[in-house]
Structure 1
Amino acid sequence: MLMHFQFKPLFENKNIPGWNFSFYYKKQRFTGIYHPTGKIEFTTNTPEQKDIDALTSQIHELMLFHVYE
């Protein structure tokens, strides 16, 4: 499970979609960009391949809850 999930707008104009996010997983910090299309781009450490699907799903759920609702 990811912990300490945070996000902020990618652009100063908050009407332009796109967000930076960060979280901790297995005691390691990850950062990335959540694009308006739902594409997730990791900008620092990339999670192990076996964890990517689960983390991607969790990130989508958190972004939908916090940004789109």
Structure 2
Amino acid sequence: MITHFQYKPLFKQAKLPGWRISFYFRGSHYDGIYHKNGQIEWGSVTPLKEDETKLQTQIHELMLFHVYE
């Protein structure tokens, strides 16, 4: 389960797409860039392959709820 999920726009003009995201999953901190097409560009830590699809789905749902209300 994702905890402490945070996002903020990549650009000062919030209408431009792209968000910096960060969260904790299984005790590890992850960060990256969430693109408008749903693609995630991971930061310094990449999740394990078996967790990546699950995380992408959860992050997409969170972004739909928070950004695309």
TM-score, length of structure 1 as denominator length: 0.96
- Structure 2 counterparts to residues 46-61 of structure 1, below 5 A: 46-61=46-61
1:28 paired with 2:28, answer yes
**How many residues were matched structurally?**
69
* Structure 2, unpaired ranges of 5+: none
- Aligned alpha-carbon RMSD (Å): 0.6
1:14 paired with 2:14, answer yes
**Paired residue secondary structure (2:31):** strand
TM-score, length of structure 2 as denominator length: 0.96
Q: Tell me how far 1:37 sits from its aligned partner.
A: 1.1
* Structure 1, unpaired ranges of 5+: none
